[in-house]
Structure 1
Amino acid sequence: MYWDAWPIERILILFVSLAFMMIGIQVTMFHYRQNFHHKSMWLPVISAPIFFMIGLVLTFYNVMWLNGLFQVMMWFGVISGLIGFYFHVRGVGVRVGGWALRNFLIGPPVTLPMMYTAISVLGLIAVYWEA
């Protein structure tokens, strides 16, 4: 079934999709710079473009199975963002000097995985929104 109008849910899904496109570019650059030294670095690099494509299609063509797939992928984004937060905090801690401020400034960005999680949560809010 096609969308009849542009309710807030539809706008949020479009925003989430575009945000995943942008964050996917940033994550790819950061992880490429680190030569993907840990296999988990591929997770957001691969999943962000998939989230973008699914959300973009859902924005223009609202079918039940696509909506369900988007929900599953957003939950996956929440979990993978939390796992990334753990790895980033641990990565700061293993640097010389541990969790010193300078290591938070030059080490893995601890806020980026939380942004990934936050965008996924916004996608879930858009899907579960009851107007």
Structure 2
Amino acid sequence: MGSQRVPGLVCAAVGAAALTAVAARNAAAMKATAQRPNSTAVPVPRFQHAPRELAHITAARSLNRGSALLALSVLADSAMEHYRGSFDNSAMYTPLVSSALSLLAGLHGGGDPRSHRHTLRHAVYLTAAIAGVSGTAFHVYNVTKRPGGWSWNNLFHAAPIGAPMALLLSGALGAAAERLRDEPAVDPQLFGMPAGRALGLLVTAGLAGTIAEVGLLHFRGSFQNPVMYAPVMLPPVAAALLAQASLGAPCERWFTRLWLRITAALGFVGVGFHARGIARNQGGWRNWSQNLFNGPPLPAPPGFSALALAGLAALRLRETEK
């Protein structure tokens, strides 16, 4: 086995271990909810959902965690890319500050079982969403001001239009989580519709935008590795199934859940392949200070994982609605 493949395999193993840890933590949380202290333990079916009166809080905490993972991806990616751009514009510090605060808010919200919104977290999420919209406008301007305006060359090499949208999604998921906490336990509503449906459609839109961005960048890379087709073939299926579950009648959707879990795994495994791509550059990881900037972006793939985890939360909530 070549030494250059080792970092990629290590990152893939770490991703698999992270998925296992998340699954174990969720199983432990469900078991703790089902069994009260100082009471006789009652066997709980393995795949039983959280009790109806706690379902929206469980979903809110999952959304907080998904928002945190997206914020972490934005923080790492924007720090590298804006550092490479020498922070030529002082506004380039904005996504670093906003994503860092959103990350902290998500970590805090993921462990908060309270049934009412946290004012500071909510403000942080709204600020992140505004920063994402503003960043998208700046990146669009960066494309249009170049010679040739809207062209494939500028879309490939100018500031990526889709990158700030990840910060918008992080803020939107977090804000939705905080609003969901204020809803009643029975038939919670968001944006004038059942909460599970609203969240499912939000995640579907986020997946569609992420797929478009990844498709553009992998097209720029000429799909030189067949594995590069995976993020433009598997997540669209998950997005379509989630949209169907959101718009259709509430019922058990095991196939949709399966594809969302595949998409979540794809994000973590993608880090391993990106690490392998970095290792294949001249000097490999020994020349990390240059190859981290020239190779495929390490922080990008977990965006799929974050959205898939949020989609699973929306699906669980949707299955309890009337």
| Shorter-normalised TM range | 0.7 to 0.9
User: Percent identity at matched positions?
Assistant: 26
| Counterparts of 1:20 and 1:114, CA distance in 2 | 11
| Superposed displacement of residue 85, structure 1 | 0.7
Give yes or no for contact 1:58–1:66 (8 Å, CA) kept in 2: no
Aligned mate of 2:123, from 69, 72, 77? 72
2:161 to 110, 119, 125: 110
Q: What is the CA–CA distance in structure 2 between the aligned matches of 1:65 and 1:25, rounded to whole Å?
A: 31
Amino acid at match of 1:70: R
Checking the alignment, whether the CA contact within 8 Å between 1:54 and 1:66 is kept in structure 2 is: no
Partner of 2:109: 58
Aligned partner letter, 1:94:
K
What is the Cα deviation at residue 54 of structure 1? 2.1
Q: Which moved more, 1:111-120 or 1:25-34?
A: 111-120
Greater RCO (CA < 8 Å, at least 6 residues apart): 1
1:64 shift after superposition: 8.8
The alignment status of 1:8 with 2:59, answered yes or no, reads: yes
**Are the aligned partners of 1:84 and 1:113 in contact in 2 as well (CA < 8 Å)?**
yes
What is residue 89 of structure 2 aligned with on the other side? Answer: 38
Higher CA-based Rg:
2
Superposed CA RMSD in Å reads 2.3
With over 3 angstroms needed to count, the CA separation of the structure-2 counterparts of 1:96 and 1:51, relative to structure 1, is: same
Q: Would the aligned equivalents of 1:17 and 1:53 in 2 still touch at CA under 8 Å?
A: yes
Shift, 1:57, TM fit = 1.8
Number of matched pairs: 129
Query: Would you say the 8 A contact 1:16–1:55 is kept in 2?
Result: yes
- 1:43, 1:80 within 8 Å by CA — same for their partners in 2? yes
- How far apart in 2 are the matches of 1:70 and 1:83? 20
Residues 18-37 of structure 1: pairs in structure 2 closer than 5 A = 18-37=69-88
Aligned match for 1:101, one of 139, 142, 152: 152
Q: Higher mean Cα deviation, 55-64 or 40-49?
A: 55-64
Structure 2 portions without partners, runs of 5+: 1-31, 34-56, 189-322
Runs of 4+ in 1 over 3 A off after TM superposition: 61-66
Residue 95 of structure 2 contacts residue 131 of structure 2 at CA under 8 Å; is this kept in 1?
yes
1:48 correspondence with 2:99: yes
Provide the TM-score with structure 1 as the length reference: 0.87
8 Å Cα contact 1:74/1:121 also seen in 2: yes
Shift of 1:43: 0.4
For residue 138 of structure 2, the aligned residue among 84, 87, 95 is 87
CA distance in 2, matches of 1:64, 1:42: 34
Distance 1:65 1:17 in 2: 19
Q: Which 5+ residue runs of structure 1 have no aligned equivalent?
A: none
Q: Could you tell me how far 1:32 is from its partner in structure 2?
A: 0.7
Query: How far does residue 95 in structure 1 lie from its aligned partner after superposition?
Result: 1.4
